[in-house]
Amino acid sequence: MWKGRFEEDQSGLLKAYGESVGFDWQLHREDIRGSIAHARALAAAGILTQGEFEKIEAGLRQIGGEIAAGTFEFRRELEDVHMNIEAALTERIGDAGAKLHTARSRNDQVAVDFKMWLRTACGDLVSKVRGLQRSLVGFASRHSAAVLPGYTHLQRAQPVLFAHHLLAYVEMLDRDAGRLADAAARMDACPLGSGAIAGSTIELDREAVAKELGFSKPTANSMDAVADRDFACEALAAIAIMGMHISRLSEDVILWASAEFGFIALSDRHTTGSSLMPQKKNPDIAELARGKAGRLYGNLMALLTVMKGLPLTYNRDMQEDKEPVFDSVKTASDTLVLFAEMLDGASLCGDRALGAASDPLLLATDLADRLVEGGVPFRKAHEIVGGLVALAGKKGVPLHKLADAEFAAASPVLTRKVVDAAFDLESALAARKAPGAPSPANVGRELARWKKALGA
């Protein structure tokens, strides 16, 4: 380790407290790519000879191969992935390696490495979001005609197609994919060349470096470039919102798989038993996913809290940026893949779902709509049907089984023919044909649209 202005060795406690190679080693591919691009720019500027550049490139690629093979030894006393790779390179090729850090700081080095890593991670997460969407569309397609109750306040509300319910989550996940793609698009400016804070008096071709590393342009302000972690905060926010959506889906799965609901059955491969109760079959994947949403929120809040009070530019606090991001990306990635696998193995208990959806109270609003069609103002129709619901409850009969005279007493519009039509489940679903509503025709078109969009 270079001492420079320091006369004493660093405290052993500080070394242990400040090292980050235990987690930032994950940036090794990006660090090597960035270093090769930087070395190429140094050669173009005449700081390196062509021979020196070739030694650096070959040495870095060899180190990269060793890291990939698991044979490279990271040394904690060298603090981070950047110093480990540079020190190993210098040990192997001598002075040429020591020239690599010319016109570069670890501040812009880590910024470009982290941005490249996270940009790739966002693309990978989008692919896995699409995988979960395909599983949802597949589950919906296998039961495209199935009906179950829709709920508000966790009370039965109105009947919907099971496929319509699942497609609601497909829509949510599509917004998640869009947010991740947007976040990645805003990672398109290359910070390398910004130096520690104010660039360098050695002018390098930043446009060429940016292009080589897959960026469309270099960053415009050197201070912002090394101080910026917006890209990480934005990605964590997108992941946290996605975690919220998966948590809501988890809650539906947990409820539907319970004995009280009994709408779906999960495969043995994706459930667990109890250490005490032999009858149990627990929806652990959904429960874990629901719990991990809190972890994703915590990672976002951790990084926002780290960044909120920092003056420009780089501060060592920012070393705390990577672990929350690495953890959220892995947690979200694992959850998406496992949840998709669980849904692929799940089945719908159609008769149980249909039985619950056949509760005549779910069509009380349809009865009110028939009154409206007969000229009754909606607020009055709402009151009339509410009174009939109360009457049926007092008499202990289903709503549609009230006597003809009782319907007629509530309103002359409510003939037996009108009442029977209002309580026909198939007709009620078919009538919900406004854009976005769950008629079989609408849902069929939406399934076809999503299959085409997802290649499912």
Dump pLDDT digits (tens) for 169-226: 999 999 999 999 999 999 999 999 999 999 999 999 999 999 999 999 999 999 999 9
User: Same domain for 379 and 276?
Assistant: no
What angle in degrees, to the nearest 10, is found between the helix axes of 106-142 and 81-93?
Answer: 120
Judge whether residue 5 has pLDDT over 80.
Answer: no
Q: What is the CATH number of the domain that holds 407?
A: 1.10.40.30
Residues 126-149 have a mean pLDDT of 98
Q: In angstroms, rounded to a whole number, what is the distance separating the alpha carbons of residues 40 and 47?
A: 10
- The tally of domains found in the chain comes to 3
Please provide the average confidence, as pLDDT, over all residues in the chain: 96
Could you list the beta-strand ranges (E) of 179-279: 189-190, 217-218, 264-265
- Mean pLDDT for 328-357 is 98
Mean pLDDT across the stretch 285-304?
98
Cβ pair 253, 243 in contact under 8 A: no
Whether residues 316 and 171 share a domain: the answer is yes
The confidence score (pLDDT) of residue 3 equals 62
Residues 254, 363: one domain?
A: no
pLDDT tens digits for range 238-281? 999 999 999 999 999 999 999 999 999 999 999 999 999 999 99
341 and 371 housed in the same domain: no
pLDDT tens readout for residues 9-50: 778 777 778 899 999 999 999 999 999 999 999 999 999 999
134 and 264 together in one domain = yes
Same-domain check for residues 96 and 117: no
Q: Residue 313, preceding bond cis, omega within 30 degrees? A: yes
Looking at 70-161, list the stretches that DSSP marks H as alpha helix, in order from N- to C-terminal side: 81-93, 95-98, 106-142
Angstrom distance (rounded) from CA 140 to CA 456: 12
Q: Are residues 377 and 344 in the same domain?
A: no
How much is the pLDDT for 14?
77
CB of 385 within 8 A of CB of 368? yes
Claim to verify: residue 132 and residue 253 sit in the same structural domain: yes
Measured N-to-C along each axis, helices 106-142 and 230-256 cross at an angle, to the nearest 10 degrees, of 20
> How confident is the model over 382-396, as a mean pLDDT?
97
CB atoms under 10 Å from CB of 370, counted, come to 20
Residue 351 has pLDDT above 80, yes or no: yes
**Residue 235 CB contacts under 8 Å (≥ 6 apart), including other chains:** 118, 121, 122, 180, 183, 184, 325, 328
Q: What three-state secondary structure class fits 435?
A: coil
pTM: 0.95
For range 319-347, the mean pLDDT: 98
Looking at the structure, do residues 37 and 95 belong to the same domain, yes or no? yes
- Which residue range is the domain that position 27 belongs to? 12-102
Cα 302 to Cα 322: distance, rounded to the nearest angstrom: 11
d(CA 452, CA 440): 18
Q: Residue holding tokens 């990269």?
A: 64
Q: Where are the beta strands (DSSP E) in 383-454?
A: none
Strand partners, 217: 189
pLDDT, residue 403, reads 97
Q: Which residues contact 390 (CB under 8 A, 6 or more apart)?
A: none
- The pLDDT of residue 182: 98
Confidence of residue 440 (pLDDT cuts 50, 70, 90): very high
Same domain, 350 and 362: no
Residues marked active site are found at: 153, 274
What is the pLDDT, as a whole number, of residue 2?
52
